[in-house]
Amino acid sequence: MNENNEVKVEENQTSTAGNTYLIPGAIILAGFLVAGAIVYSNSKTGPATQGSASVIESQRQAAQDLADDDPFIGNPDAPVTIVEFGDFQCPFCARFFQETEQQIIEKYVKTGKVKFVYRDFPLTNIHEHAQKSAEAAECADEQGKFWPYHDILFERQESLGSENYKVWAAELGLNVQQFNSCLDSGKYADEVQKDLNDGQLAGVNGTPATFVNGRLIQGAVPYAQFAAVIEEELKKSK
């Protein structure tokens, strides 16, 4: 975080600090029209919109649909679903991983309150390793090691590259022959593209972009602000 408390989001063309947007009425979320949703961008958040029970249920259903069948941690029936669209080469995604995600996991995921989903949004026009690192994580997921591999990719972001992907697979005890074959064949290229397409339909145009029960938080938002949104969603579930 810089001295002006800017929250950075990496976009297709450049890194920018945007403003907060409050969208009254409705937003399009993964093909669903969700009334009363709030889109947050940058470091400021507005008050939660109080909707009817049917609206809240619609938001939750849209959040579950947005999660698709991608890797998740936590209680599958948690009252709050967080879906992150990220890029393993994005420095602001790494910041989010280091400064915010770990605290969310400790306080909310491990206590059964949050289901945390990761989906790919590779910015291939500015990140040469974004696509293949996403595919590598999918290959690790095939062997039940998505989250340890996810962590390595962010922790070693400066060393991304095809040979290292294979070295890291061996470090995690994966079947290296299976992993290498998976990665070299591009087996999950279409899956990564589907994530990207779904993110674009949901209004994502940069990373990290994170949905909390359908509410979009754009950028590497500080944990305290993220927690405030989670708490608002938990109150709605009671």
What is the count of structural domains for the chain? 1
pLDDT tier for residue 134 given thresholds of 50, 70 and 90 = very high
Find the mean pLDDT for residues 202-213.
95
Is 9 a domain residue?
no
User: Which domain covers residue 180, as residue numbers?
Assistant: 19-236
Q: Collect all residues with Cβ–Cβ distance below 8 Å to 129 and sequence separation of at least 6.
A: 88, 89, 160, 161
CA quadruple 143, 148, 154, 160: dihedral, nearest 10: -40
Is 12 a domain residue?
no
What letter would DSSP give residue 220?
-
Question: Under a CB-based contact definition with an 8 Å cutoff, are residues 148 and 156 in contact?
Answer: no
Cα–Cα dist 91/124, whole Å: 14
Does the pLDDT at position 25 exceed 90?
no
Cα–Cα dist 44/188, whole Å: 36
Is 7 a domain residue?
no
Cα–Cα dist 219/40, whole Å: 9
Find the mean pLDDT for residues 42-55.
43
CATH code: domain of residue 133 = 3.40.30.10
Is 106 a domain residue?
yes
Q: What are 89-105's pLDDT values in tens digits? A: 999 999 999 999 999 99
Is 13 a domain residue?
no
Q: Note if the pTM is more than 0.85.
A: no
The mean pLDDT of the chain is 81
Is 74 a domain residue?
yes
> Of 90, 35, 91, whose CA–CA distance to 61 is shortest?
35
The helix or strand, by DSSP H or E, that contains position 10, with its residue range, turns out to be strand 9-11
CA end-to-end span of the chain, whole Å?
34
Is 11 a domain residue?
no
The helix or strand, by DSSP H or E, that contains position 142, with its residue range, turns out to be helix 130-142
Does the pLDDT at position 52 exceed 90?
no
224 burial via Cβ count (<10 Å: 0-12, 13-18, 19+) = exposed
> Of 119, 137, 78, whose CA–CA distance to 211 is shortest?
119
CA quadruple 34, 208, 182, 71: dihedral, nearest 10: -50
The helix or strand, by DSSP H or E, that contains position 41, with its residue range, turns out to be strand 39-41
Is 206 a domain residue?
yes
